[in-house]
Amino acid sequence: MVAAVIILLVFLNNEGFLGRTKNIFFKISSPFSTFFYGASDKISDFGQSFIRNKSLKNENEELRAKNLELLSRLVKLNEIERENEILKEQFGFLEKQTQIFSRIRGFGDKKTSILIDRGENDGMSKNLPVVARGNIIIGKIIEVYPDFAKVLLINSPESEVAVMAGENRAKGILRGGTSGDYLNLEMISKEEEIKIGDKIITSGFDNVFPEGLLIGEIVEVEKNDLEIFQKAKVGPYIDFDGLEEAFILIEADKRR
């Protein structure tokens, strides 16, 4: 039986029948083989693409980490440069004063006082004047501790500063306003001429603040025929909410 089948297959092959059968078989199976070969290529391409993408992702994460590190270093350098510029600018103003740089560590109630990172160990004492960049008065020290001090700001109702106003240097007292937006200029003689836009500077008469330091300018004048003195509202040059650093003024010959 087996021998008969073999003889038959040999005969069919010689006659060309098996050739046609093979052709039909390959023709039918060709799309499937193409599909599988194509699918295999696509799977291979996908795998390689996945590996490349993963590699790129890792490289991007490494670059991002390096960029953040460089950015952090740049921020630190900019901050150091900023402080150096502030110090350079500040020390050019007052030759008779030693100025101690300090950072503000906190605000008191209603932002009428601040806490600075200089204290008794740094030569701080009560009533030392405190200024902002540009030597604009912001307050005076009222409490001292070993490593920090409390500064009463001039916007506090408890603050009093001896000042001068305008070109004729009219003398008066500047007190903190109740709203915090404006300061109150008081005890100005009605005989003195003051007007909106006049600059307010320290007079030095209170023996706390040196003479000639800027504070603000007059934004409103109040006169009353029934009163001996005239008043005015003063807009401070300092944004107290935005304070970040301060300078404590110490007379050079009193520095420890």
User: For 218-256, how does the pLDDT look when each residue is reduced to its tens digit (9 = 90+)?
Assistant: 999 998 888 889 999 999 998 888 899 999 998 754 544
User: Is residue 80 one of the residues assigned to a domain?
Assistant: no
Residue 60 lies in a domain: no
Do 29 and 137 sit in the same domain of this protein?
no
What is the reported pLDDT for 9?
47
Question: Quick one: 102 and 229 in the same domain?
Answer: yes
Q: What is the pLDDT of residue 87?
A: 61
Range of the domain at 23: 2-49
Q: What angle do CA 255, 200, 106 make, to 5 degrees?
A: 55
Is residue 164 located within the same domain as residue 238?
yes
Q: Please give the pLDDT value at position 229.
A: 92
Domain tally, the chain: 2
In a domain, 155, yes or no: yes
What is residue 34's predicted lDDT score, i.e. its pLDDT? 46
Distance, CA of 228 to CA of 222 (rounded, Å) = 12
- Give the model's pLDDT for residue 44: 53
Looking at residue 242, its pLDDT comes to 87
Q: Which of 163, 140, 136, 150 is nearest to 238 (CA)?
A: 136
132 in the same domain as 216:
yes
Decide if 67 is inside a domain: no
One domain, residues 35 and 102 = no
* Within-domain flag for 157: yes
- For the whole model, what pTM was predicted? 0.65
Q: Quote the Cα angle for 124-127-133, to 5°.
A: 75
pLDDT confidence of residue 36: 44
The parts of the chain modelled with pLDDT lower than 70 are: 1-54, 64-65, 68-69, 71-76, 78-79, 82-96, 179-180, 252-256
Maximum Cα interatomic distance, the chain, rounded to a whole number of Å: 143
Q: Which token pair is 89?
A: 């600018």
Q: Within a domain: residue 84?
A: no
Same domain, 124 and 249: yes
Query: E-strand spans in 14-159?
Result: 97-107, 113-116, 129-132, 136-144, 149-153
Q: Is 61 part of a structural domain of the chain? A: no
Cα(41)–Cα(49) distance, integer angstroms = 12
